[in-house]
Amino acid sequence: MENPKKEQLHPRVLASREIARVIWSPLWTSNRKKRIDDILYDYHFFFGTMLDDESLQTQLLVEEGEAFLITAPRDVGYEKYGTHRKWQLVFLANSETIIKAQVLFLNKKFVMMKDRKVTLEQFMEEQQLTGIERLMTFQLDQIKPKMALTPALSYPIDSGLFPLGRISKQSLEFGPERTIPVMCMKIKHKSQKFIQKIKDTANEMLLFGNERIWRLWGVCDVSPNSCILVMEDIVYGSLSFFVGKHWNSEQLIRFSHQTCEALRYIEKYGFVHHHLNLDCLMITYRYNIKLAFYGLTDDALYPERPKEYTVDQARWIPWECLPDYGRNDKSNDLTQSTASSENSTILHGEDYTSNSMSYTFGSLVWSMCHAATLPFEDQLSDQIMSRGYRKHHTVEVNKQCTPNKLQHIIFKCWATNKTDRPSLKEMKIQLRTAVEKLESR
């Protein structure tokens, strides 16, 4: 992914942590929303959407009176009917009862929805609640082997997907008897500067993401030449593996909607995902999609534009992003090698942008519907890499495998003229409407 512009970052030192954390805001975020985020992240017990899997909430609450603040779960119609943000104070009232009290932001402070004259702080004091801190820096002894009750991945993640480090299921201790499942990426490198750069970048990303992004819990120092990235748990595993075995039209529409939500999220923050393919999509709790982009290359935390594309990368990107090898790149010659002539003039392809991600999104949806088939799987490498060939050829869409709504989106995403492709925002709205229709049945 490309780095966002500096003005898109909103850094500040969070209270009680003494470590600078970057609070992320889109360029067009209002000052009110920025002010809300400033206050929220001063609460050491604010977890955002990191606890959307309700099983994590029960695992964190151990003692009576313990509490944390989360972003209230949003249903599919949230953005359609308004963007009034809401939060929940979740606390353990007794050994068996977990209470979720609704919280609002009113008159420059957080108040309880049931009694708006009572601030969040007053309510916690009256109820004698103690906030559980969201830890972001971990010690090695806090990372334990996978809990016995945590199942192995039903749909294994390709071990070659993360060349930066080795991924494994582990458990993370937040405190005595307070353990949650996590995924860990252990990174080793001969250069201490490289490891420090990875840790610095990871610390910048700790508050980035929403429920559609595979996020970081924090960083663990191991040695000058090694560190561990502690990441959210993935419950089921690889979407690619899943759709290779299961086909359900309604589920495919939901997967497509959630994938579009993930891409739209990173687009709003100035990012472009340069390693986007079906393997980057994971299935976690309640069969929700999460997008992976950490550890996808061996030289950085997240991938920036590659100097050149491999065949496996090229099959997912639009034709205009491929290099043009000049006169020898014949669009309709199926046997022409684009790189065979020593005399060809190589012109770099166009930059891969958010518009390009729209094209790739169409290929992701197509692949989901076709049992994780790779785009241009039956074509020669030279054809896949040929700008001219790709401009005039797409893959076949099996209409029996592809719901009508998704067929329309795929063809629009693959428009030869990039200005004819729909934006991620437009497709997100269309897919949200499709999901709402499914849920209203």
- Residue 311 CA to residue 315 CA, distance in Å, equals 6
**pLDDT attached to residue 177:** 85
**pLDDT attached to residue 344:** 45
Nearest Cα neighbor of 68 from 90, 95, 96, 35 is 90
Of 22-31, 135-144, 290-299, the least confident: 22-31
Residue 152 reports pLDDT greater than 50:
yes
3-state secondary structure labels for all residues of the chain: CCCCCHHHEEEEECCCCCCEEEEECCCCCCHHHHHHHHHHCCCCCECCCCCCCHHHHHHHCCCCCEEEEEECCCCCCCCCCCCCCCEEEEEECCCCCEEEEEEEEECCEEEECCCCCCEHHHHHHHCCCEECCCCCEECHHHEEECCCCCCCCCECCCHHHCCCCEEEEEEEEEECCEEEEEEEEEEECCCHHHHHHHHHHHHHCCCCCCCCECCEEEEEEEECCEEEEEEECCCCEEHHHHHCCCCCHHHHHHHHHHHHHHHHHHHHCCCCCCCCCHHHEEEEHHHEEEECCCCCCCCCCCCCCCCCCCHHHHCCCCHHHCCECHHHCCCCCCCCCCCCCCCCCCECCCCCCHHHHHHHHHHHHHHHHCCCCCCCCCCCHHHHHCHHHHHHCCCCCCCCCCCHHHHHHHHHHCCCCHHHCCCHHHHHHHHHHHHHHHHCC
**pLDDT attached to residue 83:** 47
**pLDDT attached to residue 5:** 47
**pLDDT attached to residue 335:** 41
- Residue 230 CA to residue 217 CA, distance in Å, equals 5
| Average pLDDT of span 72-78 | 68
Comparison of pLDDT for 113 and 21, the residue scoring more: 113
**pLDDT attached to residue 306:** 85
Q: Right CATH number for 6-131 from 3.30.505, 3.30.360, 3.40.50, 1.10.760? A: 3.30.505
Comparison of pLDDT for 413 and 2, the residue scoring more: 413
Residue 337 reports pLDDT greater than 70:
no
Comparison of pLDDT for 273 and 32, the residue scoring more: 273
Q: Chain-wide mean pLDDT for the chain? A: 89
Using only C-alpha atoms, what is the Rg of the chain?
23
CATH 3.30.200.20 holds for 137-232: yes
Confidence of residue 348 (pLDDT cuts 50, 70, 90): confident
10 Å CB burial of residue 287 (0-12, 13-18, 19+) is: middle
| CA dist 294 → 10, 134, 274, 303 (Å) | 21, 21, 12, 8
**pLDDT attached to residue 163:** 96
- Residue 351 CA to residue 233 CA, distance in Å, equals 33
Ranges for all domains in the chain classified under CATH 3.30.505: 6-131
- Residue 156 CA to residue 64 CA, distance in Å, equals 38
CATH 1.10.510.10 holds for 238-439: yes
Beta bridge partners of 227: 187, 221
- Residue 436 CA to residue 76 CA, distance in Å, equals 7
Q: What is the dihedral of CA 292, 298, 303, 306, to 10 degrees?
A: -140
**pLDDT attached to residue 340:** 40
Residue 413 reports pLDDT greater than 60:
yes
**pLDDT attached to residue 31:** 87
Residue 301 reports pLDDT greater than 90:
yes
Q: What is the pTM assigned to this prediction? A: 0.91
**pLDDT attached to residue 162:** 97
Q: What is the dihedral of CA 338, 340, 346, 352, to 10 degrees?
A: 40
Confidence of residue 13 (pLDDT cuts 50, 70, 90): very low
- Residue 22 CA to residue 204 CA, distance in Å, equals 5
